[in-house]
Structure 1
Amino acid sequence: MQMLLGGADNGSNIVPRIERLDGGYILYDSSLLAKPFSGLFNAATLAERALLMEPTVGRGGGYFLRFGSQEWVWRHYRRGGVMARVFEDEFAGWRLEHTRSWKEWRLLADLYGRSFPVPRPVAAFVSRKFGYYRCDLITQRIAPAQNLSALLEKSPLSTEVWAAIGACVRRFHDAGIYHADLNANNVLLDDEMRVYLIDFDRSGPRRGGIWQRKNIDRFQRSLRKIAKFTPSFYFDDDAFHYFLAGYGADF
């Protein structure tokens, strides 16, 4: 099972740096991005410079970027639910370290540095005005990889892969890392069926309690919901049994 667990190849360390950019602030890994340029978080500018690839798939939306030999994922933070009708992409706050993109970048940098199976953070951007801020995040693309939902629409997964997904989630839980949106779209598997977790917005360290069980229940609900509305979706309770076996569930 260990061979199916993803992890960072830390040949080079993350070197964080903060600069002013386009009226805001950027926190970036200077070992990947030597010099941020104006328009880095603007779709029109990226398209003009032929850096913009296809849109990403998912509720939040975003784009794949090609930067030299690297491929990145750019996501602009948006609200969900009722508040999105009024404040689509604005969040209250002034302190950079408390913004959503800054916190996710810092969390990913920490996890990646500890060889957890997460995307490497590239850059976080925050622009502030009148007590509100907008923000963005760029991470390295895990490629070639597909999310769990897309894979299950094509064919069933082996019991070994389901167990590896469970073991991956357990690794985060044992480290006290809560994933706020653990669902079938935020679990990636590469072409060797190695497992990664993505999208750590509003996630982070938590102390012991019942949150681990609630995390797993949320994951199961997401799979059942997709199965309910997708004609061909290879998921059932037997598959989840092997997930729990890999997790080592004791509840």
Structure 2
Amino acid sequence: MNKPAIVKPCNEKTFQQGNVYCRYDSDEVSAFMPEMLNSDYWQVNNAIVGSAQGRGTTWFIATDNAAGIMRNWVLRHYYRGGLIGKVINDQYLYTGIANTRAAREFSLLTSMRSLGLPAPKPVAFRVIKHGLFYRADLLSSRIENASDLVGILSKQEINQLLWQQIGKVIKTFHQQGIYHHDLNAHNILIDDNDKVWLIDFDQGEQRKKRVKWPEENMARLLRSFRKESNRVSNFQWREKNWQALLNGYQS
């Protein structure tokens, strides 16, 4: 598989006021305001064009920039999972900006984009510090004309060549040392041109390539397919599709 093309990294700027710290791409946002990391801001400006439910609500935003160019973004608030999430929900222990979930994901997205990997472009993040804890939000680009793999397979089959392409794309990330903390069928998108994308890199990181984490990543993905096959009626996935994906990954 050809190496991904190198892409110009984002033009990062920072904003800090009181207990609020933000970083943003000034090429994407010419007149940044921290309120842009709040869904209420976009609701008032009639820029919310959809949403999706997961651990929390993900908001889809369509807005013009100063040059009149339409921007399509995704706004996500960070929520905890598991039992601890039922107690403190969206608060995390603050140990410095660089260690926050939002800053780490923003930096990882920036790195992946600079490598030409098919992942969302980072737009902005916000961290609000409250004593020993913080809350955070992330704004990133929305992948145009794309659907997640679970949504696609709940309606139709995909051909073996596309399964192989999914495997090849995942391998490209792994070759660059990109660990996806939650690699599952929901976080694989396919657009109208059959281009494969990976999204949602919360807790992801760039790791050394010589250890066995890629195998764990792939095992998690396989569990995801099997889980959705039991959960979603008429889910168009079979074990043979996994083998086609592996063939692409190993090619």
Is this a same-fold pair by TM over 0.5?
A: yes
Residue in structure 2 matching 1:41, options 37, 46, 53: 37
Distance 2:14 2:46 in 1: 25
Provide Cα deviations, 1:101-148, integer angstroms capped at 9, x if missing partner. 001001101110111000100001100011101001000100100001
Distance in 2, matches of 1:155 and 1:231, equals 12
SS of the equivalent of 2:126 reads strand
Shift of 1:53: 2.1
Q: In structure 2, how many angstroms separate the alpha carbons of the residues matched to 1:88 and 1:8?
A: 39
Aligned mate of 1:247, from 237, 246, 249 = 249
CA–CA distance in 2 between the matches of 1:49 and 1:232?
Answer: 39
Instruction: Write out aligned runs for 1:62-211 (5 A).
Output: 62-68=58-64, 69-207=70-208, 208-211=210-213
User: Which deviates more, 129-138 or 14-23?
Assistant: 14-23
* Structure-1-length-normalised TM-score: 0.92
Residue identity over aligned pairs, in percent, reads: 31
The aligned counterpart of 1:51 is 47
From 12, 15, 36, the equivalent of 1:16 is 12
Classify 1:145/1:242 alpha carbon distance in 2 versus 1 (closer, same or farther; 3 Å).
same
1:225 maps to 2:213 = no
**After the TM superposition, which parts of structure 1 deviate over 6 Å for at least 4 consecutive aligned residues?**
none
User: In structure 1, how many angstroms separate the alpha carbons of the residues matched to 2:237 and 2:71?
Assistant: 34
The CA deviation at 1:58 is 3.3
Structure 2, gaps ≥5 residues long: 65-69
SS at match of 2:233: coil
SS in 2 for 1:199: coil
Worse-superposed segment, 184-193 or 54-63: 54-63
Q: 1:177, 1:204 within 8 Å by CA — same for their partners in 2?
A: yes
How much has 1:230 moved relative to structure 2? 1.4
Paired with 2:32 and 2:5, the residues of 1 have a C-alpha distance of 24
Equivalent residues, number: 245
Where structure 1 has 5 or more consecutive residues not aligned to the other structure, the ranges are none
SS at match of 2:235: coil
* Residue number in structure 2 paired with 1:25: 21
